[in-house]
Amino acid sequence: HVVNCNNGERFVTYVIEGTPGSGAMCVNGAAARLVHPGDKIIVIAYCHVSGEEAREHRPKVVLMEEGNRIRDAYALKPGAPIDPGQPLSRA
């Protein structure tokens, strides 16, 4: 899922691996009409896991900076409740 912070567009798409380290985020096909160069986007990834896997799964939040370089990465501890008022632990 992709959310465009500049124009409010939301869409579901797929990922094509790009050149490692390039920082490129490219939207292809019809979805390309929903995003423009320089727009800020949020990329949301989901996964399906079994109940057993869910107990050990560590969802991650990655914050990017200019040039799409990683600024910070955080992970929830397995089984921890999500509390918006509390900081996440570093991944």
Q: In what order do the strands lie in the sheet with 89-90?
A: 60-65, 69-75, 89-90
- pTM attached to this predicted model: 0.74
The architecture in CATH of the region 1-46 reads Beta Barrel (2.40)
5 versus 17: the higher-pLDDT residue is: 5
Mapping DSSP to helix (H, G, I), strand (E, B) and coil, where does residue 68 land?
Answer: helix
Mapping DSSP to helix (H, G, I), strand (E, B) and coil, where does residue 43 land?
Answer: strand
pLDDT, tens digit, 9 for 90 and up, residues 22-81: 988 889 999 999 999 999 999 999 899 998 998 888 888 888 998 899 898 888 777 666
Question: What residue spans define the domains of the chain?
Answer: 1-46, 47-91
